[in-house]
Amino acid sequence: MELLKKEKELIMEKKIIFAVSLGPGGSDLITPRALDILEKSDTVAGYINYIRLFPELFKNKKIISNGMRGEIERCEQALKAALEGEVVSVISSGDAGVYAMAGLLMELTERDEFSEIEVEVVPGITAASTAASILGAPLMNDFAVISLSDLMTPQEVIIHRIQKTAEAGFVCAVYNPASRRRQSLIKVCIETFMKHYGPDTYVGIVKNAARANQESLVSTLGEFPYDLIDMNTILIIGNRQTVFRNKKMYTLRGYSEKYGKKEN
């Protein structure tokens, strides 16, 4: 207890705020470092659904939470709490530095009122790597990650990135593929990759990765099941080196061709 007290005092003295990664959803996939920081925290700030995901981690903590599009307000409140001498963790699912809160916290500390606060990022397991592990090993070679959410990025920019990724031949992990409001970009995405990679290219679909209601399947671009896709889905679109064998989707890196036994 005395050691914990000293560690908290040091954090408060340095005015550190933590961007803590919760991983994809399973409590067994939260890193020991994240658990340690959460234990030391007086205040936890996060999207309301993430707070509800692990209620046991946030007992006896002051909670700052709100819904979608409340990110700036939530982070401002967290930074003010840090200035007042509290140990504060701002939580994100997956990795806090991937489509999450770490960058926003750093941006806000450019303001004079928050300039003395240091942001420390506690990394975590991303949704892309989790989905890949469920499917097999599709990220074995160079890959890209694209979000289809146009809330922060214009559609024309997203479409340009899809086109360039497909032209370059990358495997692609797709975040936020569709919602009730957004249906057009997923069709553009699948059709663009199909044009460059062919209709028989494998695509892995994982919903609610590492959570109790997890679902996964492997389809092809030509038979893509649009009706199954929502905001809780991660797609991994393979390329010409991606295979589906023994119920596993994986991308050949070239080991067999380079180091395999050669016949005389």
Give 47-63 pLDDT, tens digit per residue.
999 999 888 999 999 99
- β-strand pairing of 248-251 with 136-137: parallel
Distance CA 156, CA 152 (A): 12
Q: What is the pLDDT of residue 1?
A: 56
Q: Are residues 52 and 146 in the same domain?
A: no
* Greater model confidence, 219 or 231: 219
pLDDT value for 3: 55
Tell me whether residue 257 is in a domain: no
Tens of pLDDT, residues 7-48: 777 777 778 999 999 999 888 999 999 999 999 999 999 999
Residues 170 and 68 in one domain: no
Q: Which residue, of 79, 100, 125, is where some domain finishes?
A: 125
Q: Enter the tokens of residue 44.
A: 């936890």
Mean pLDDT of the chain: 93
Domain that residue 64 falls in: 2-125
Average pLDDT over residues 87-115: 97
One domain, residues 135 and 247:
yes
Q: Among 62-66, 181-185, 219-223, 257-261, where is mean pLDDT lowest?
A: 257-261
The kind and range of the H/E element at 14 are helix 2-14
What is the rounded CA–CA span in Å between residue 93 and residue 9?
27
Are residue 159 and residue 240 in the same domain, yes or no? yes
pTM confidence score: 0.91
pLDDT value at position 261? 60
Are 109 and 160 part of one and the same domain?
no
Query: 182 versus 39: which is more confidently predicted?
Result: 39
Tokens 């494998």 found at: 202
Find the CATH number of the domain harbouring 40: 3.40.1010.10
Mean pLDDT, range 126-135, rounded to an integer:
97
Residue closest to 42 by CA, chosen among 2, 95, 94, 5: 5
Q: What is the mean pLDDT of residues 62-80?
A: 94
Among 98, 125, 152, the domain-final residue is 125
**Which is it for strands 171-175 and 143-147: parallel, antiparallel or unpaired?**
parallel
For residues 117 and 134, state if they share a domain.
no
